[in-house]
Structure 1
């Protein structure tokens, strides 16, 4: 699932590939934590503002290695993280030790009923079974609680970024499609959507490493992975905007929020 205009994974007709991509991140957990971007505080705040009452407890669902977790900690709320992959969860605990990190999935959340004010999902909702996940999220949310979905993506309105996106493809990524609508569920009101400008400080080397943590490269064959990353690095090394030292990678953080109405 995704937000209008966002190219997200949509491979319901290929469940084996979907499962491989969804479970591929543990193999690169350390690199994922090192190179994936954070989320803009104003985007996080807007998502949490979907809660109809004061926020105390927040669940970071499918928390990965903690990119969103760290931003949530900065809000001052009580944060709990849930992550299914053991290696990703271990990296999260190493980097954000003050946050309890529980094993669990979006479809089976290890929290009691009515136990949290907001559920936040960074870069992961498209891996969920949406009907089962939304039912389970509704179970753990208090009435009036907020569901926030966040995705970071390259801002391809910038010319060189658009070329980078074109080069950064594999035989797996071509199976992606654009999702035009967010799901509906009787326990939630309609989703609101907003895009926030964001950026990540990178070098040619570190941006290539970031792309190496994307699922379309982690599940590609070794040869194809090498070809994709070599193509990307060659472009970054010769592109005037990225060839010399550090630069800002333009991003757009797309956020959707909905309020729980039991």
Structure 2
């Protein structure tokens, strides 16, 4: 993940949607109160940090990308930001009470992420994973976006919504796995929609020529829609505790 988003850290922070405040209450209720501290994996520019900082507990962020970490530090000067990947981080003795990850679970080593998370948590601690599913009010618009992305990489597929719940549950390392879903319908004007796509991983890894092809197709789609897209933005929060 390090280096993919750093060059567009400012744009990422400006156009990526944040997380609904209602999820904060779900975390507190599940944990049984405000945790003593929070550790966030792959914090990026702080979209998830904003949700977590509102808990009122000290926050430590793990963010290996220097560009993303610079924006994160500027936004949250009270947070402790460590420029380290989760796989290389050494949790404190006794573990952490709340380990969170927002839109970064898929970037972690799938063979190790659950085991490392389990080992990092204190007894009775909480794992909190949150992610957006960027749906469209009109499914045809979503298919058009995927078709545009396929001009860059035909192997790209959408992960099933809430896939990370199954990932955690199947590991056998966690108990009381619960899910909360928040749904919104923001309208993205053409330029913001294009800016959002420019922060997606497949686009970031593409060549300049491939990026131009993606944008050309999307501009044509947006022109046909009157210059805006209504999203079906579904945010899933998965909570679990060590078994």
Moved more, 40-49 or 92-101: 40-49
Contact 1:22 1:127 in 2 (8 A): no
- Which of 218, 226, 237 aligns to 1:255? It is 237
- Quick one: distance in 2 between partners of 1:38 and 1:143? 30
Contact 2:34 2:55 in 1 (8 A): no
Matches within 5 A, 1:13-32: 23-32=3-12
Secondary structure of the 1:107 match is helix
Contact 2:180 2:238 in 1 (8 A): yes
Matches within 5 A, 1:163-178: 163-170=143-150, 171-172=152-153, 174-176=155-157, 178=159
1:150 aligns with 2:130: yes
Give the C-alpha shift of residue 102 in structure 1: 0.7
Contact 1:125 1:149 in 2 (8 A): yes
Give the C-alpha shift of residue 212 in structure 1: 0.4
Aligned position for 2:120:
140
Contact 2:100 2:128 in 1 (8 A): yes
TM-score in terms of structure 2 length: 0.85
> For residues 135-169 of structure 1, what are the alpha-carbon distances to aligned partners after superposition, in whole Å with 9 as ceiling and x for unaligned?
32223322111111111122245345434434441
Give the C-alpha shift of residue 259 in structure 1: 0.9
- Quick one: distance in 2 between partners of 1:144 and 1:164? 45
RMSD: 2.5
Contact 2:136 2:230 in 1 (8 A): no
> For residues 83-128 of structure 1, what are the alpha-carbon distances to aligned partners after superposition, in whole Å with 9 as ceiling and x for unaligned?
1111111111122222111122221224303342211111110111
Aligned position for 2:50:
70
Give the C-alpha shift of residue 215 in structure 1: 0.8
1:229 aligns with 2:243: no
Q: 1:157 to 1:207 in 2, by over 3 A?
A: closer
> For residues 17-71 of structure 1, what are the alpha-carbon distances to aligned partners after superposition, in whole Å with 9 as ceiling and x for unaligned?
xxxx664112221211111111112234324543256422111111011111012
- Equivalent residues, number: 237
Aligned position for 1:212:
198
Q: 1:76 to 1:158 in 2, by over 3 A?
A: farther
Structure 1: runs of 5 or more not aligned: 1-20
Q: 1:58 to 1:173 in 2, by over 3 A?
A: farther
Q: 1:173 to 1:87 in 2, by over 3 A?
A: farther
Aligned position for 1:7:
none
- Quick one: distance in 2 between partners of 1:186 and 1:124? 21
Moved more, 139-148 or 118-127: 139-148
Moved more, 159-168 or 101-110: 159-168
Aligned position for 1:194:
180
- RCO comparison, higher one (Cα < 8 Å, 6+): 1
